[in-house]
């Protein structure tokens, strides 16, 4: 789970003298926020951390100034809480990411001191799968980082990242594999449904399992889809724009002893320039739609659909590549329908001829209780 809790001007000015809250976006507004003290989607340690921060961040003695999205002044921009699971025990791990407009670790120190004991108490002892109880290195379960983002945009990805306590990643398990995830790398927010989503992708991919097929995993993030398919493939190639996600993907391949996966960093919207010559001839392409890296907040994008689908250059490239199968995974049905139409029927306006047939399509509810849906589509060359 990942939850963004941006501070910003109050929706209801009555309830806070200073005029700022720590909470979630009001639907439809980039500059209005609802205060929250607890979120039912979050793990218990995450809620405890939120409570502890809510109790102290307004204390004038701490000198913490929230960032104002209009004047672009202030220090505290975003608070990100991300929960994972220890690979061996299934016990929760937590990452706290303070996104600030400048690097002032002395200002964050009181917050770190307040929340690190909560995090460490959350998992001081673990029970291994064999049942033995042993003490664990507490700092191994905790990650408190600071992303410094000096831009005026409301994004979480910092130009620089500093570890304030513990380690720089948290771990999550998915389809029997372990994934180490950095603060700036995408990971599906709903792990339980991600199991369903990736199971469906594997079903649609229908790899022979004889190690003969080449898989392209476009927009691969931390390498999750490609790595879950690697066991049955000859080789998996993952492409992704965020450098931290690519280093996570490479590390995750090693962590899971997968040796037939290559991850390449670059912008797929410039596919012809960045990957043109070296692109391997695939048997199957798994492609997500473009989920803007400058705005990776899932909960936020629930309210601000900013997923523009595939770039026309990528569509043209895919049509040229002629992979026998494409699995298109999309969280925006509108752009998904448009892109499927281009791939299947072409477009006179864009001077492209479609050459695929839509064989299967199934939605997966990755965002329950919201109007949003993820679609998995299988296309075959005809």
Ligand X SMILES: C[S@@+](CC[C@H](N)C(=O)[O-])C[C@H]1O[C@@H](n2cnc3c(N)ncnc32)[C@H](O)[C@@H]1O
Judged on CB neighbours under 10 Å (0-12, 13-18, 19+), 235 is middle
Identify which of residues 123 and 377 has a Cβ nearer to ligand X in the complex: 377
- CA–centroid distance for 31 within its chain: 23
Identify which of residues 187 and 317 has a Cβ nearer to ligand X in the complex: 187
Q: Which of helix, strand or coil describes residue 261? A: strand
Binding mask 38-57 for ligand X (x = CB under 6 A): --------------------
Identify which of residues 161 and 240 has a Cβ nearer to ligand X in the complex: 240
- Residue 219 counted as an annotated binding residue: yes
Q: Which of 220, 298, 331, 375 is catalytic?
A: 331
Applying CB under 6 A, among 4, 186, 237, 317 the residue interacting with ligand X is 186
For the record, the structure tokens of 345 come out as 């029927």
- Residue 188 counted as an annotated binding residue: yes
Beta bridge partners of 354: none
Site membership for ligand X, residue 200 (CB under 6 A): no
Identify which of residues 267 and 380 has a Cβ nearer to ligand X in the complex: 267
Binding mask 291-330 for ligand X (x = CB under 6 A): x-x-------------------------------------
Interface with ligand X (CB under 6 A), residue total 19
The least distance separating ligand X from the CB of residue 217, rounded to whole angstroms, comes to: 7
Identify which of residues 47 and 244 has a Cβ nearer to ligand X in the complex: 244
DSSP state letter for 373 = -
The least distance separating ligand X from the CB of residue 329, rounded to whole angstroms, comes to: 7
Residues 201-230 that bind ligand X (CB under 6 A): 219-221, 224-225
Residues 239-298 that bind ligand X (CB under 6 A): 240-242, 245, 267-269, 288, 290-291, 293
Beta bridge partners of 265: 240
* Cα dihedral 204, 209, 210, 216 in deg (nearest 10): 50
Identify which of residues 245 and 261 has a Cβ nearer to ligand X in the complex: 245
331 belongs to the catalytic site: yes
Residue with tokens 């080789």: 235
Name which of 134, 5, 120, 110 is nearest 59 in CA terms. 110
The least distance separating ligand X from the CB of residue 24, rounded to whole angstroms, comes to: 20
Which one of 144-152, 184-192, 255-263, 337-345 is the stretch in contact with ligand X (CB under 6 A)? 184-192
* CB-nearest residue to ligand X: 221
The least distance separating ligand X from the CB of residue 372, rounded to whole angstroms, comes to: 12
Contacts of 334 (CB under 8 A, 6+ apart): 309
The least distance separating ligand X from the CB of residue 321, rounded to whole angstroms, comes to: 16
To 10 degrees, what angle do helices 44-56 and 105-122 make?
A: 150
The least distance separating ligand X from the CB of residue 209, rounded to whole angstroms, comes to: 22
Binding site, residues? 188, 219, 240
Binding site for S-adenosyl-L-methionine, residues? 188, 219, 240
Residues that bind ligand X (CB under 6 A): 186-188, 219-221, 224-225, 240-242, 245, 267-269, 288, 290-291, 293
Active site residues: 331
């Amino acid at each position: 789970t990942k939850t963004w809790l941006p501070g910003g001007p109050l929706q209801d000015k009555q309830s806070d003298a200073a005029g700022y809250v720590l909470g979630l976006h009001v639907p439809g507004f980039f500059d209005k926020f609802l205060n929250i003290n607890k979120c039912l989607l979050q793990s218990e340690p995450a809620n405890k951390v939120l409570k502890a921060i809510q109790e102290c961040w307004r204390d004038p003695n701490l000198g913490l100034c929230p960032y104002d999205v209009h004047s672009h002044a202030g220090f505290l921009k975003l608070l990100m809480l991300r929960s994972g699971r220890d690979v061996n025990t299934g016990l929760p791990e937590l990452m706290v990411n303070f996104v600030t407009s400048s690097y002032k670790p002395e200002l964050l120190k009181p917050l770190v001191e307040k929340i690190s004991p909560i995090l460490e108490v959350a998992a001081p002892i673990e029970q291994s799968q064999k049942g033995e109880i042993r003490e664990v290195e507490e700092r191994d379960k905790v990650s408190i980082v600071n992303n410094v983002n000096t831009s005026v945009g409301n994004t979480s990805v910092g130009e620089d990242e500093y570890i304030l306590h513990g380690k720089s990643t948290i771990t999550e398990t998915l389809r029997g594999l372990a994934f180490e995830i950095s603060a700036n790398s995408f990971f599906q927010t709903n792990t339980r449904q991600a199991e369903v989503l990736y199971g469906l992708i594997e079903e649609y991919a229908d790899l022979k399992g004889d190690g003969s097929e080449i898989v392209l995993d476009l927009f691969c993030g931390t390498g999750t889809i490609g790595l879950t398919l690697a066991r049955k493939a000859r080789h998996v190639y993952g492409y992704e724009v965020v450098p931290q996600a690519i280093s996570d993907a490479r590390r995750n391949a090693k962590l899971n002893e997968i040796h037939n996966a290559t991850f390449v960093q670059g912008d797929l919207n410039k596919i012809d320039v960045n990957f043109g010559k070296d692109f391997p001839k695939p048997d199957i392409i798994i492609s997500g739609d473009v989920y803007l890296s400058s705005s990776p907040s899932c909960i936020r994008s629930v309210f601000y659909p900013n997923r523009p689908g595939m770039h026309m250059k990528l569509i043209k490239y895919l049509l040229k590549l002629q992979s026998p199968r494409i699995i298109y995974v999309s969280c925006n049905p509108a752009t998904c329908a448009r892109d499927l139409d281009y791939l299947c029927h072409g477009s006179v306006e864009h001077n492209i001829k479609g050459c695929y047939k839509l064989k299967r399509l199934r939605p997966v509810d990755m965002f329950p209780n919201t109007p949003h849906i993820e679609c998995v589509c299988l296309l075959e060359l005809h």
